[in-house]
Amino acid sequence: MSESQSLPELCRFGALEVVDLLARGEVSPLELVEAAARRIETTDGAINALPTLCLERAREHARRIMAEGPKVERPAPWLGGLPVAIKDLEDVAGVRTTYGSPIYAEHVPARSDILVERLESRGAIVVGKSNTPEFGAGASTFNEVFGKTRNPWNLDKSVAGSSGGSAAAVAAGQVWLASGSDLGGSLRTPAGFNAVVGLRPSPGRVARGPAPLPFSTLSVAGPIARNAADAALFLDAMSGQHPEDPLSLPVPAASFLEAARAPQRPARIAYSPDLGLFPVEREVAGICLQAAERFAAMGVVVEEACPDLSDAVPVFQTLRAALYAAEMAPLLEGHRALLKPEVIWNTEKGLALSAAEIGRAELARAALYRRVSAFFETYDLLLCPTAIVAPFDVDVRYVEEVEGHRFDNYVEWIGITFVITLTACPALSVPAGFTAEGLPVGLQIVGPPRGEARALAAAALLEQATGIAEALPIDPRPAGHGAAAS
């Protein structure tokens, strides 16, 4: 095909397809960088997903890969020169990295995060940084440096957060893959709001750092992709031990891609409409129930059940606040006027905690893990909604009320994901369907401990049943475009 024909079409292909084209020499890394650049130029004025680009750096990287030629021994898995986006919480050497904060508005790190180093060593080419809330705090993507990111399915709606820029960029076809991170749902909620796949892996599955708190297990990095197989490919490229991450895990014997490409049907899964804790919009609950019933139609035993998570909300809020106190106290002391109110609240909450309160929360988390581990002796997977609401107005900072229930703070509305964080179990969001207004709804699939492969396989099976992944990428849609087919 001619360049004018091929470049736009390359953005329509999935990551696996493009990596295969690269391996066969039918497309070059440089052509892919230019295809991404054109798609970003066409769409980002509407959605503001990738406010910082590093295209010349990407072109130089592409030329290096091309100059090395096919005879160079490559690490596996090899992405071959595939352009990706990196969340603006993760350092990229020589590229403006703001963490969404005015404090770091002109920050340019000298070294990349080890996740980025690993991805670039395996043939990923960074084309830009994706937008995020300030320090990743909050589940809607806006900040004082770059403004708000808009949902490509409806430009009047939120992309959620904090990996909202990454999810929107993937949904709109600006890049084939993007990194995200997840503390309380920051990969899963944006994936649900943008009809893509976002996977929170087990702590240690993806090495990160150098980190100020390398032994913390609450926040992890993971992949965002258009479908389960692409997410599995990216997770394979992210995975592996690293000496600077003391929790990092070895690469498993079987690749995650194998699990997604030839998915095994689970025998028995649990479905909970609310984890026994949270209000859920009626339409969202109905769509997620229909998605769970698709597994029953495959011959899977589906039962309404849930582990005992009754104390998970206060436990998470305590441990999250303690984490904020450890990481953010120096910034609160030196730059209070430049921090958003939610960050100040969470940090001060942490500073007010006693050692006894933190100790009790850690003990309660351990007991919760034992209950969840026992639950997965009976069930292969746990399913529930990714979010308790559909995408909301882009100008709303956070959800304050659902089905008559008012929340006490800015993070409580994502409790359906953050209580899963406490379990250390891998969890992903996969598209479940669309509301009558055409807004995406995600289904959260929680695997047993270290069970990423099982969760990815189930996501692949659901994709086959819904066909939603085939609708991606989408062109940004103004409000009132109409409902999408599911």
Per-residue pLDDT reduced to its tens digit, 254-271:
999 999 999 999 999 999
Is 304 a member of any domain? yes
- Mean pLDDT, the chain, rounded, equals 96
Question: How many degrees, rounded to 5, is the angle at CA 373 between CA 369 and CA 374?
Answer: 120
Domain CATH number, residue 314: 3.90.1300.10
DSSP 3-state assignment of 64? helix
**What's the confidence (pLDDT) of residue 263?**
98
Asked if residue 469 lies in contact with residue 461, where contact means CB atoms within 8 angstroms, the answer is no
Which whole number is the average pLDDT over 165-192? 98
Is 19 a member of any domain? yes
pLDDT at 484 over 80: no
Q: Does 373 qualify as catalytic in the annotation? A: no
Closest by Cα among 238, 298, 239 to 263: 298
Is 476 a member of any domain? no
Q: Which of the four pLDDT bands, split at 50, 70 and 90, describes residue 1?
A: very low
Is 264 a member of any domain? yes
Measured CA to CA, the distance from residue 32 to residue 125 in angstroms comes to 10
User: Per residue in 19-56, pLDDT tens?
Assistant: 999 999 999 999 999 999 999 999 999 999 999 999 99
Q: Which domain holds residue 77?
A: 3-471
Residue tagged active-site, from 87, 129, 157, 340: 87
pLDDT at 193 over 70: yes
**What's the confidence (pLDDT) of residue 73?**
84
Residue 190 corresponds to which amino acid?
A: P
User: For the ranges 2-11, 220-229, 334-343, which has the lowest average pLDDT?
Assistant: 2-11
Is 482 a member of any domain? no
Residue tagged active-site, from 101, 130, 140, 162: 162
| Site of tokens 């690269």 | 22
Element (H, E) at 221: strand 220-225
Q: Does 6 qualify as catalytic in the annotation? A: no
**What's the confidence (pLDDT) of residue 3?**
47
Is 392 a member of any domain? yes
**What's the confidence (pLDDT) of residue 4?**
38
Residue tagged active-site, from 186, 219, 239, 272: 186
Closest by Cα among 210, 205, 165 to 186: 165
Asked if residue 36 lies in contact with residue 85, where contact means CB atoms within 8 angstroms, the answer is no
Is 236 a member of any domain? yes
Query: How many domains would you assign to the chain?
Result: 1
Q: Does 121 qualify as catalytic in the annotation? A: no
Is 486 a member of any domain? no
User: Per residue in 125-150, pLDDT tens?
Assistant: 999 999 999 999 999 999 999 999 99
End-to-end CA distance of the chain: 32
Alpha-carbon Rg for the chain in angstroms: 21
Asked if residue 123 lies in contact with residue 80, where contact means CB atoms within 8 angstroms, the answer is yes
